[in-house]
């Protein structure tokens, strides 16, 4: 017997779980196709205030707030030794009347809280088998799972990541490119208080970014050359502690790196369109880029908010084709501008071309020296299109 649903969400990661909960919150019956993740994720995610509003709306924020740390100041320091060096730039949440830009949340407890919520929802049915095939028709989309299960849905959200099976099945192409960088990801304790300040050092190899965790702990994303990864992973812990402290200029005092260091190659991806037929791409299914400026998952959650809003405006999942068209048009500006901005900044860090270095340093100097410009950058970074009321109606809902 064929199973029928209003919405199918494919992908069991953070974006997929949020998408399933957001669809269920509208009263739609959801098929959540979510195979277990391949490994535990020791990373953290900095979610901005609009994303925190969404977690509150979905009733999961209270579960993860105790293990999260507020981000009240975001600071950029030039850690290069180049001719053109930028002055320090600090962005304070209080400048735009916020208590905090957002919170840094460990991925594992966030993942667990989201999946507890999906399991508790009467509107969500989870399938653990991976997607094998999908075909879109005039009235619905049919999804075949590897265990032989077949189901249909009026609309689908593809949240199954960079190597998305659903995206491939519906024929959306992607452009991908890689960088001569890998990211070392780790957590560490430190002697001095971080003061709710996140510090991003710009180095010749890319960003070296410390983000607060509760207490005297922080997470670190450290861009290095790929051929250096094994050396750092094999380092004696005392030597690695000293290396991290030196690169942080001892602003947090002595550090102690915790177990569970991970390494990830850095690359980018952008889809040729963000939807087709009755399916919309959300999260890294449609876009991915290096971890600069706290944009990654926040961009994916904006995808989800706008996808749900588009379906509501179209009268529900039956109006999916109209919703997909509207969604693709509205997401393109946000996604392409963020992807281009992160790509340009990352390449500027890696470039030895003097005009490029001067342009980067000059831009940061302007942000440091001109408060209205800094204010504008903060507001646009927090809520794209804020001057035009661009925040999703979903994110504005509470309780």
The CATH code of the domain that includes 204 is 3.30.9.10
The CATH code of the domain that includes 341 is 3.50.50.60
Report the alpha-carbon distance of residue 159 to residue 37 in Å, rounded. Answer: 13
In a shared domain, residues 361 and 237:
no
Q: What is the pLDDT of residue 342?
A: 73
For the stretch 332-350, pLDDT in tens is 888 887 777 776 666 666 5
The model's pTM = 0.87
Report the alpha-carbon distance of residue 162 to residue 380 in Å, rounded. Answer: 26
Q: Structural domain tally of the chain? A: 2
In a shared domain, residues 141 and 33:
yes
The residues, any chain, with a CB within 8 Å of residue 194's CB and separated by 6 or more, are 69, 210, 212, 216, 218, 252
End-of-domain residue from the set 214, 236, 265: 265
For the stretch 267-288, pLDDT in tens is 889 999 999 999 999 999 999 8
Residue 85's pLDDT band (boundaries 50, 70, 90)?
low
Strand 73-78 to strand 197-203: parallel, antiparallel, or no bridges (unpaired)?
parallel
In a shared domain, residues 252 and 271:
no
For the stretch 122-142, pLDDT in tens is 999 999 999 999 999 999 999
Domain that holds residue 231: 178-265
In a shared domain, residues 112 and 12:
yes
DSSP string computed for 298-357 = HHHHHHHHHHHHHHHHTTSGGGHHHHHHHHHHHHHHHHHHHHHHHHHHHHHHH---HHHH
Return the bridge partners of 200, or none: 76, 209
In a shared domain, residues 333 and 241:
no
Q: Please state, rounded to an integer, the average pLDDT across all residues of the chain.
A: 86
């Amino acid at each position: 017997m064929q199973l029928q649903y209003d919405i199918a969400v494919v992908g069991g990661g953070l974006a997929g779980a949020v998408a399933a909960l957001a669809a269920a919150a509208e009263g739609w019956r959801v098929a959540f196709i979510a195979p277990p993740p391949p490994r535990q994720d020791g990373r953290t995610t900095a979610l901005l205030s609009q994303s925190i509003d969404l977690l509150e709306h979905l009733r999961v924020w209270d579960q993860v707030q105790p293990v999260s740390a507020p981000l009240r100041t975001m600071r950029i320091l030039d850690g290069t030794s180049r001719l053109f060096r930028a002055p320090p730039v600090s962005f304070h949440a209080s400048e735009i009347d916020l208590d905090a830009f957002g919170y840094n949340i460990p991925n594992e407890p966030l993942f667990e809280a989201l999946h507890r919520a999906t399991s508790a929802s009467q509107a969500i049915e989870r399938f653990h088998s991976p997607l094998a095939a999908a075909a879109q028709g005039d009235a619905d989309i049919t999804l075949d799972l590897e265990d032989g299960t077949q189901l249909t849905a009026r609309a689908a959200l593809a949240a199954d990541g960079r190597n998305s099976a659903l995206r491939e099945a519906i024929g959306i192409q992607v452009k991908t490119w890689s960088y001569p960088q890998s990211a070392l990801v780790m957590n560490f304790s430190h002697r001095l208080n971080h003061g709710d300040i996140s510090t991003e050092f710009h180095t010749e190899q890319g960003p070296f970014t410390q983000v607060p965790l509760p207490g005297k702990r922080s997470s670190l994303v450290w861009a290095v050359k790929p051929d250096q990864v094994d050396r750092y992973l094999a380092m004696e812990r005392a030597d690695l502690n000293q290396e991290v402290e030196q690169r942080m200029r001892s602003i947090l005092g002595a550090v102690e790196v915790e177990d569970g260091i991970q390494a990830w190659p850095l690359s980018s991806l952008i889809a040729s369109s963000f939807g087709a037929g009755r399916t919309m791409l959300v999260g890294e299914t449609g876009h991915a880029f290096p971890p600069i400026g706290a944009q990654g998952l926040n961009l994916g959650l904006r995808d989800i908010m706008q996808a749900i809003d588009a379906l509501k405006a179209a009268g529900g999942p039956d109006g999916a084709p109209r919703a997909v068209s509207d969604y693709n048009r509205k997401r393109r500006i946000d996604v392409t501008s963020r992807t281009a901005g992160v790509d340009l900044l990352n390449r500027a860090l890696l470039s030895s071309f003097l005009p490029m270095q001067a342009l980067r340093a000059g831009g940061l100097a302007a942000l440091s020296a001109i408060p209205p410009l800094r204010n504008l950058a903060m507001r646009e970074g927090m809520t794209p299109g804020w001057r035009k009321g661009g925040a999703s109606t979903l994110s504005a809902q509470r309780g």
